[in-house]
């Protein structure tokens, strides 16, 4: 079998680029998409190239961004439009291959090994995709071309925006090895700190580091990281099927104002958990656990989780478990900027266990009510029926 040809397509500044399609008079200005543009605690979700040049960064507050760039224009997110344009880009990829693996809303890997007879080399296919995206969608994409997924993704990061970068078996040591080790897939901040503590700074350093040192620092993940640095990533491009089930389902939100007590979080959890519940029902799944995610006003992130004997798809029960978990682990010594709740430990339907103390009967009744509400909302719209009250429990 010949060399694989893998592309990684990364839609440039995706949220900001799509938002500017609907605000064309702002194209030449520094622009950021924010969670809450009216509140100084809003978070930067994305920025255009002009804002980047001022040093505006994703995940910082609007207040911090505007200290760097006083003329920064902030726009609210257009999630439906982002999903629409992500699907349109996906349709363009499908012209060249049916082997497509999404990596978030704005990135995809494509295996075009079998497409070269029709469309030319990997670089030629990448350039055709780049031109199609620009001409038909009005946004740009950077494409990495390589013989594995790791290097294809690195290639898409090397030239932005609107570019194609080819990393081959012959040139990867020259192009990739001088880069910081943190650019490798799954080499996060903590991993990079551990590597630097032993004098391992670049991708080349990782490739040349001894197995024993990497195992001592990172366990078995150290050997996997070395294989990626050496170009030995053989992972396939996996196309999701309609039968694929999610491993967890969550929702989060940054409030218009900080959350200062459990009552404020409770009403938010009810809303978020309703959406989680709808997704569980759509996949015919039940959650045996709950995870709570919080970000404090000083941007410290904490997560708490717990599993239960009884799995559920009830939004009310998921919210109740979430607020109980939060109360057990956080005392609001500092306000919260954002909160999230996630259903974990997902099981197929029918996985609810019997409870000898009778809780399962009460839970089943709650779920039956919510099943009916779910069907009504599905038929008549999400706003057709809601809770009369979302007060603190």
Q: Note the pLDDT tens digit of each residue in 282-324.
A: 778 899 999 999 999 888 889 999 999 889 988 999 999 999 9
Low-confidence ranges of the chain (pLDDT < 70): 1, 36-41, 242-243, 349-393
**Domains plus CATH for the chain?**
6-13+80-173 (3.30.70.270), 23-77 (3.40.1170.60), 177-229 (1.10.150.20), 249-380 (3.30.1490.100)
pLDDT the model gives residue 36: 58
> In the annotation, is 370 catalytic?
no
* Residue 67 to residue 298: CA distance in whole angstroms: 17
Tokens describing residue 151: 């290097």
Rounded to two decimals, the pTM is 0.66
For every residue of 162-216, which 3-state class applies, written as one string? Answer: CCEEECCCCCHHHHCCCCEHHHCCCCCHHHHHHHHHCCCCEHHHHHHCCHHHHHH
Q: Note the pLDDT tens digit of each residue in 201-218.
A: 999 999 999 999 999 999
* Residue 357 to residue 169: CA distance in whole angstroms: 63
CB atoms within 10 A of CB 355: 13
pLDDT the model gives residue 59: 79
CB 167 within 8 A of CB 191: no
Q: Which residue has the tokens 């010949």?
A: 2
Cα torsion angle, 322, 323, 326, 328, sign: negative
Question: From the candidates 101, 107, 367, 370, which is the catalytic residue?
Answer: 107
* Residue 151 to residue 184: CA distance in whole angstroms: 9
C-alpha separations of 124 from 1, 40, 67, 362 in Å = 21, 46, 43, 61
């Amino acid at each position: 079998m010949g060399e694989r040809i893998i592309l990684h397509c990364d839609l440039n500044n995706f949220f900001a680029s799509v938002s500017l399609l609907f605000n064309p008079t702002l194209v030449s200005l520094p622009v950021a998409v924010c969670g809450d543009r009216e509140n100084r605690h809003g978070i930067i979700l994305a920025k255009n190239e002009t804002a980047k040049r001022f040093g505006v960064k994703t995940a910082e507050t609007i207040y911090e961004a505007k200290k760097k760039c006083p003329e920064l224009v902030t726009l609210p997110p257009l999630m439906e439009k982002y999903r629409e344009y992500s699907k349109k880009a996906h349709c363009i990829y499908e012209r060249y291959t049916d082997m497509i693996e999404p990596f978030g809303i704005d990135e995809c890997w494509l295996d075009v090994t079998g497409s070269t007879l029709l469309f030319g080399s990997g670089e030629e296919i990448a350039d055709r995709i780049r031109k199609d995206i620009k001409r038909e969608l009005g946004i740009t994409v950077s494409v990495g071309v390589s013989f594995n997924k790791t290097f294809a993704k690195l290639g898409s990061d090397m030239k932005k925006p609107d570019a194609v970068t080819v990393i081959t078996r012959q040139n990867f040591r020259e192009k990739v090895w001088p880069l910081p080790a943190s650019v490798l897939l799954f080499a996060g901040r903590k991993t990079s700190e551990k590597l630097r503590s032993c004098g391992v700074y670049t991708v080349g350093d990782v490739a040349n580091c001894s197995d024993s040192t990497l195992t001592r620092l990172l366990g078995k993940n150290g050997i996997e990281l070395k294989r990626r640095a050496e170009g030995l990533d053989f992972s396939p491009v996996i196309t999701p099927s309609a039968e694929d089930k999610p491993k967890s389902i969550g929702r989060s939100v940054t409030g218009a104002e900080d959350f200062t007590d459990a009552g404020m979080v409770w009403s938010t959890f009810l809303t978020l958990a309703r959406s989680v519940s709808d997704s569980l029902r759509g996949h015919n799944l039940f959650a045996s656990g709950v995870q709570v995610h919080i970000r404090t006003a000083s941007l410290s992130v904490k997560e708490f989780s717990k599993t239960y004997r009884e799995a559920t798809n009830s939004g009310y029960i998921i919210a109740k478990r979430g607020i109980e978990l939060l109360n057990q682990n956080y005392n609001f010594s500092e306000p919260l900027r954002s909160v999230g709740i996630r259903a974990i430990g997902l099981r197929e339907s029918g996985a609810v266990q019997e409870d000898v103390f009778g809780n399962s009967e009460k839970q089943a009744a709650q779920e039956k009510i919510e099943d009916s509400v779910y069907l009504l909302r599905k038929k008549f719209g999400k706003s057709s029926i809601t809770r009369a009250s979302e007060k603190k429990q």
